[in-house]
Amino acid sequence: MPDLSVPELLDLDRRHVWHPYGPMPGRQEPLVVESASGVRLRLAGQSGELVDGMSSWWSAIHGYNHPVLNEAAHDQLARMSHVMFGGLTHEPAVRLAKRLVDISPEGLEHVFLADSGSVSVEVAVKMCLQYWRSLGRPGKQRLLTWRGGYHGDTWQPMSVCDPEGGMHELWSGVLPRQVFVEAPPAEYDEAYAERLRSAIGRHADELAAVIVEPVVQGAGGMRFHSPSYLRVLREACDAHDVLLVFDEIATGFGRTGALFAAEHATVTPDVMCVGKALTGGYMTMAATLCTTRVAEGISRGEVPVLAHGPTFMGNPLAAAVACASIDLLLGQDWQREVKRIEAGLREGLAPAADIEGVRDIRVLGAIGVVQLDHEVDMAAASRAAVREGVWLRPFRDLVYTMPPYVTGDADVARIARAVCAAAREG
Ligand SMILES: *Cc1c(COP(=O)(O)O)cnc(C)c1O
């Protein structure tokens, strides 16, 4: 196929290609990216470059076109891009699993390599339900979570996303009905903690697990909460024989200032999902980790296997890049970089307090959020950011950023200016 002109490409895109949460045909014209390097996206034609304030949805923590990750991909490509994982194994997958066991909270010992975050959550839920089935308690098959969460777009994950998001109404009667507690307050509140405990106690006989995003709720509303709630959940789950699942798909690999958000509370969940930044944003891969108690429980059952096995499970190319990405992260003073970005965002977003319609400004690790008192005009807000030379993707009442950790101070300041401009004009 010859190169497409930008108008041809956009026309075909609009007619044939679904985009996330988009209509068909498309109504908003996407920007065409030609290449990306460091923290910059190069747009097609004469449209110049944008500083990326999104890390491609939390994933590109090292920026784009990174020589170390490129080399890992090239090396692995020359050996094999993929082989099936049933009956076969290979070094990239084994090395990655061992790395994840070594760096994740103490006690997580076994790794299921999945092909996307949503699938890793499906696997987590399947592990929990099957665990109780194997122990002769099949009635324990519901999940409890708090409102304001996001866990992915396939069926089980959707059932524990915030029910206000619209998807629940559309799918009521189709989605499994889970138990919801109100969203966690930012600060520790003993009365709320008590409501959490009592909800877990009340539903214990039917609960397989509690599933939450620790410390930061991402796509459900970019809310932060006190890590102390994680200890409350751990204790209540232990007291009532309920498993605890942490979805660290957004928070994993340093984003909140700890390698995993669970570390803010030194709590080990029974099951943990990681994804997004796992491959440094190079390709799709996620993982579900579990404790020996969970794995042995499943393996003692009538069906003593975990019946899940995606075609591209353990993909060597993705696993090799994931290993390189983790080594790259741990081989540098990443805490300092995240703290530096945190300081830059705090300073740069402070002026948003004077913008009319701004309700809240919050920063944690390399995450900066400006919340409005109204639904953002996404097109106007994005245009305002692009005028500042920055790529942002606001949603609902939120203009937010989570830049790559390699973003320099001047670019962090520019991103913050763009967030303010988007908040002003959105
Ligand atoms: C993005 C995300 C998911 C879903 O991951 P996909 O790779 O998009 O399927 C699940 N949970 C959380 C917390 C996420 O941020």
- pLDDT digit string, tens, across residues 116-130: 999 999 999 999 999
From-to residues of CATH 3.90.1150.10 in the chain: 31-65+333-425
Q: Could you count the other beta carbons within 10 Å of the beta carbon of residue 47?
A: 14
C-alpha span between 97 and 102 (Å, rounded): 9
- Banded model confidence at residue 309, pLDDT cuts 50, 70, 90: very high
- Banded model confidence at residue 327, pLDDT cuts 50, 70, 90: very high
Domain made up of 69-330: CATH architecture: 3-Layer(aba) Sandwich (3.40)
Residue spans of beta strands (DSSP E) within 3-69? 33-37, 40-43, 49-52
pLDDT of 1 reads 58
Which one of the listed residues 131, 150, 282, 400 is annotated catalytic?
150
Distance 82 CA to ligand 1 centre (A): 23
pLDDT of 169 reads 75
pLDDT of 170 reads 85
The answer to whether 21 is a known catalytic residue is: yes
pLDDT of 2 reads 66
**The token pair that represents 263 in the structure block:** 């570390």
Please state the rounded mean pLDDT for residues 267-273. 98
Please state the rounded mean pLDDT for residues 105-121. 98
Please state the rounded mean pLDDT for residues 124-144. 97
Please state the rounded mean pLDDT for residues 21-31. 92
Ligand 1 touching residue 162 (CB < 6 A): no
Ligand 1 touching residue 218 (CB < 6 A): yes
The answer to whether 98 is a known catalytic residue is: no
Instruction: Give the whole-number percent of the chain exceeding pLDDT 70.
Output: 99
- Banded model confidence at residue 210, pLDDT cuts 50, 70, 90: very high
CATH code of the domain occupying 31-65+333-425: 3.90.1150.10
Residue nearest to atom 15 of ligand 1 (CA): 250
The answer to whether 126 is a known catalytic residue is: no
CA-based max dimension of the chain: 64
Ligand 1 touching residue 214 (CB < 6 A): no
pLDDT of 172 reads 80
pLDDT of 165 reads 67
pLDDT of 167 reads 67
Query: Is 47 flagged in the annotation as binding?
Result: no
**233 by DSSP, 3-state: which?**
helix
Distance 312 CA to ligand 1 centre (A): 18
pLDDT of 166 reads 62
Instruction: Give the whole-number percent of the chain exceeding pLDDT 90.
Output: 95
C-alpha span between 400 and 367 (Å, rounded): 7
Task: Give phi and psi for 244, each to the nearest 5.
Answer: -120, 125
Q: End-to-end distance of the chain based on CA atoms, in angstroms? A: 39
- Is-above-0.85 flag for pTM? yes
Residue 100 pLDDT greater than 80, yes or no: yes
From-to residues of CATH 3.40.640.10 in the chain: 69-330
